[in-house]
Structures are given as structure tokens and as C-alpha cells.
Structure 1
């Protein structure tokens, strides 16, 4: 319902994920702000930047900002937002959530990351404890945004309420087919792009018996250890912009081994470059990938990767063109207006 985004909005987004972090959450809000401002809306971000912080245990690339209720109040009073959206569940998101509740301000949230599973992969904390925290965090708001129908159903079954759908987009001008072969022209290239971290299940990809070459693009806490463990794999480290897009386009198959991602913006970026996807049939890939047309979903990831070599690359590009950041932006703005204007018991 685009009528809800015709009048300019002043929106404050509180997020623990921001530059210099490299992940789908940062890219999503970066594009959201660009398109929202082009539509005439005013967007401000409350982020860890320029604040005292400490490295996240087991994941030092992520900084945990130290911010007080007074700090949140100062930012809100300075910007005078009409709407507040809490993007993450870290210290900044938590402080903003708690301030809104104390001040009686409506707010919405987003469920981007399966933190219960991510935490359980690093420390011996039951997944059920993580979901109890996430339920407590998100159910206090006027609405929680989720990226796929299967995730919506899953969270509803876990007791989450006031759930709204918010899909993702892709920059099809940057991510496009290119006549480049950065890793040779003969043997197939199987590529993973994303954080190099335990929760991404990258070992499931690197252990596969595949023809050709394996490439891993991205930063993360496992980068050095996986380099030592898999000396025959090419690890490029992080790539950005045109260089990143050229890497996507140079691959024959994009292999997505994650079992815990809620969406995977990289899936759309690969498809926009004409690169088919191989993945497990789980939340995220099964909501995005048309099995057999733009990728292959299989419990046997190696079988999926080999079969994906036969996918028509032009079909991948055509499919990705249906996803735009403009539509993604309008959907979030619509959801926020609707959710924050509804009594909690009436949100759906």
C-alpha cells in the first residue's frame, strides 16, 4: 500500500550493525536509507560509530557499543523522529527498546539474524534460552519485520507476535553479468561469499568433492584457520563494489552452505550476476530460489552444486531483476507506519 509512504517520514533506525562491518544487515539498511531519502524521507541512524565499545567475544570484528538510556534520549531528542525502528538486538538496540518502553514511545523491530543458533555455535547456551530472549525483545514492540514466509511461520510457532513481512532487494546495475573469469576459464569455479564464521557452515562446502576450483570471499573469525586447513582453496578476504560483483560473475556456481541465515542477500547478488545457486532446502534459500530454474536445493550440497552447473545463467539474471531496493524500501516504510499506528493487540 504505497499511499502510506507518500508523506515524508522522519525515521530513526537503531542498529548495532554498521560500517565498517561487512554483512547483509549493513547492506540492507545502507540501501534502504539511499532509496528512502530519494523518496523524500529523513533517515537517521543510531550506530556504534564514535562510541566507546568493546569487541564481541569470539567475534572481534563486531564492536559492542556502550550506550546509556541518556545517550539514547539525547539522540531521539536531537532528531525528533516520528517513528523509531530497532534493527538489531545488541546493546544499542536493547537500550533503544528499553527507552521507548519507559517513555511510552511506539517502535518496530527486525529479525535479521538467528542469534540463538549463532550463540549456541560458540558457547554452550541452549537455543531455547536464546529464543526466550528474542521473544522478550521483539514482542514488546508494535511489530517485528521478517524476510520470508517460512521464517514468519517459524517465529509464530515459537510465540512471536505482530509479525510483518519485509523482503529484500538487489542492485542489478552493480551486480550484473560480466565477461570476466578471475580464476581461470576452463575448470568450474564454485564460490562462497559472506562472513567466514562458524555459523555459516562453510566447512560443509569446503569438504565437498567438486571438480574445478573453490573460492571463499569475505572476512571473519575463521578466515585464518580455514586457510590453514584448506590450502587448495582460494581465500580472497573481503571485496567491495565493482570488485565484489566481478567475483560473483566469475563463479560458475554460488554455493550457500548456511543452515541458519534468515534470507541471504548474497543469493540475489549472485543471481543478478547470472550465477546459479546451490544450497540446502532451508529457510532463506527455499524462500528465494526457484528450484531447478535459478538454482538447486538439495540435502546433498555436493549434488546440488554439480547440478547447478547446468542452470541457464540468463534465467538467473531475469529472476533477480524482479527484486528492487525501491520496493523493499516502500514495504518497510509501509509496515512501520501501519504497525506503529495500530494497538498491539490488533497488529497482524
Structure 2
């Protein structure tokens, strides 16, 4: 099958959406499918306001028309609601092609955290955007329920995976050597941005040490305000996995994430998670097994210390990228099926 995957989020961006899309594309190719990833690389772009790491493609319709017209895909999946996604939606509608979309990010909440844009207006745009798809893929049932309440329907489940070979537990002595800090070590791992609510973690009064693994537009400001926190910066690959495995609890303060791949990656390292009982963590955390969900984040962080690292690892092992890719492929629709 020839699959066109259109996305505004792609390398060199480092985030959960890019990880999910790149892993899915690679798995689909291993299964014998031909995948064309249409992204902003090589195109004229401008930085996204307040988030320069994200590049927005200028006048993308010509390239969408050329790439999709030449490729003649059997299925089209539009992964993001940005300029490329909008151009692909317009192209498919003009050609009377069917397509699928996916909902990865709560952009209405992210936008409202930066500018006075009403949530109702943003969700009205998303209802229109996804309303044109045969169906919209979401990562978990809790998110599906929330979106249905907001008027986004025709939803299909597409779960996520984790690389349990890269993200793996380490012996205790090795953990202490990597992070030679007063124990326990609590970590935030991910993008340092206002929508991630990182400051809820930084303000916690906890014994031991706090570390931040990651970078982002809010990093410099928060680092100056919380000098007692250990700021480890951006880490990737084996270096990231080893530092994550060296921590004792991963604190996930976000209230807006739709899933949180970092939760699965922490669990794969044997690290329990402390989080709020909201949509993202509710999808993957089994309270008292691989993490603690509590409206009081400090209570959750302290209680998570008592959880079994072996149970966390076992929980992560069920999330397999090959299985997730088969879900994704099963959700696709023929581009010219109905017409």
C-alpha cells in the first residue's frame, strides 16, 4: 500500500508527536508499505510565534499538489492541523479523496496559555478540520470521550509504543554513579514550555534532589528562578535513557497532554510516575502499579517512591510499536474508495 503521511511536526523537532509518526512510518515500511512523509524540510518556513523550534510552511499548496499528485497514494493520513495539514485537506477535498486525521495535541489549550484566544473558537476550528475526515485517530479512550463531548466524532483508537530495548532499567550502583545526587531523585522529563506546567513540579517541597531533562522556550526563565534544581538540558538516545533510568520518580505535571510518551519511557526504565488524574496519565498509569495519580502532586511523588520498579517495567512491555502500527494501518481508508 502507498501511504501519504502529511505532518507539520517532523525532525529536527523533538517531541512525542514526531516520535510517534517517525516510528509508525518506519514500522509500516518494514511491513512492506511505501510511505511518503510530506513535511516542512526543504520548504520555505517561518518560526511559529512563541515557539521558534516549530517551523510553519509558507504557501504549501503547490508542493502538496505536486507531491501527492506524483505519488498517487492509496491512503492519505493528515497528522497535524498546521499549514501542511490544511493544504492537504484542501487538496483531498478538491480531488474528492477520502483521508484520515489524528489528534495529537491540545492546541486550543496551548494557544490559550499564550494568547487571549477563547477555547470555543479554537475547538470550532478543530471540529471543522477533523469533521472532513473519514475518521480521526486518537491515542486512548479517555481522550476520545473528551473529544466527543466537544463535538469531534468518528474517532478510532491508535495507541502508542515504547522502545523497551533503548529504555531499560539499570543496576542500582550504575544509577547512583550516573546521577551522584542526594536521593531520592525526582525528575521532570520533556519539553520545558508553559503548556507543560513544569513549574508545578519545580515548586514542590520534596526530599532529595530534583532534575529537569529537556529544553524549551521556558527553560532559561525557570532555570534562573529555580537554581537549586539540577538542569541537565536536552538528552537523546542512550544518554537520555541512562539518565532517565537513574532517577527514582518521574513527575509529570502536565494537565493538557493527550497521552505522554515520556510516561511509557520512564516506566520502561523501571521508573514510577507521579501525575495528576487527567486524560493523558489516565491512559497509561494504573494507580499503585506503575504510578500514582493524585490531585496533590507532592502526595503522588512521595507515594510513587514505594512502587515496584519491576512492575513499572512489566507495564511498559505491553506497548509495542509494531502492534500500534498495525492499528494505524487498519484505520486507514482508500483515498478513492467511496468516490
What is the TM-score when the length of structure 2 is the normalising length? 0.96
Q: SS where residue 45 of structure 1 aligns?
A: strand
Task: State the partner residue of 1:318.
Answer: 314
Structure 1 stretches of 4+ with a deviation exceeding 6 A read none
Number of residue-to-residue matches in the alignment: 335
Q: Deviation of residue 80 (structure 1)? A: 1.8
Contact preservation (8 Å) 1:281, 1:298: yes
Q: Deviation of residue 342 (structure 1)? A: 6.8
1:125-164 → structure 2 map (5 Å cutoff): 125-164=117-156
Q: SS where residue 284 of structure 1 aligns?
A: helix
Q: Deviation of residue 341 (structure 1)? A: 4.9
Is structure 2 residue 274 aligned with structure 1 residue 274? no
Q: SS where residue 333 of structure 2 aligns?
A: helix
Query: Unpaired segments of 5 or more residues in structure 2?
Result: none
Cα distance in 2 for residues equivalent to 1:67 and 1:39: 34
What is the TM-score when the length of structure 1 is the normalising length? 0.94
Q: Deviation of residue 84 (structure 1)? A: 0.6
Q: SS where residue 204 of structure 2 aligns?
A: coil
Match of 2:103 among 88, 96, 111: 111
Task: State the partner residue of 2:90.
Answer: 98
Contact preservation (8 Å) 1:192, 1:254: yes
Query: Unpaired segments of 5 or more residues in structure 1?
Result: 1-8, 344-348
Contact preservation (8 Å) 2:78, 2:88: yes
> C-alpha deviations, 1:3-62, integer Å up to 9, x for none?
xxxxxx210111000111010000001111121111111111110111111111011111
Q: Deviation of residue 265 (structure 1)? A: 0.6
Q: Deviation of residue 234 (structure 1)? A: 1.4
Task: State the partner residue of 1:227.
Answer: 223
Q: SS where residue 279 of structure 2 aligns?
A: coil
Distance verdict in 2 for CA 1:295–1:339, change over 3 Å = farther
Is structure 2 residue 48 aligned with structure 1 residue 56? yes
Q: Deviation of residue 248 (structure 1)? A: 1.3
Contact preservation (8 Å) 1:193, 1:217: yes
Is structure 2 residue 296 aligned with structure 1 residue 303? no
Q: SS where residue 125 of structure 2 aligns?
A: helix
Distance verdict in 2 for CA 1:185–1:342, change over 3 Å = farther
Task: State the partner residue of 2:81.
Answer: 89
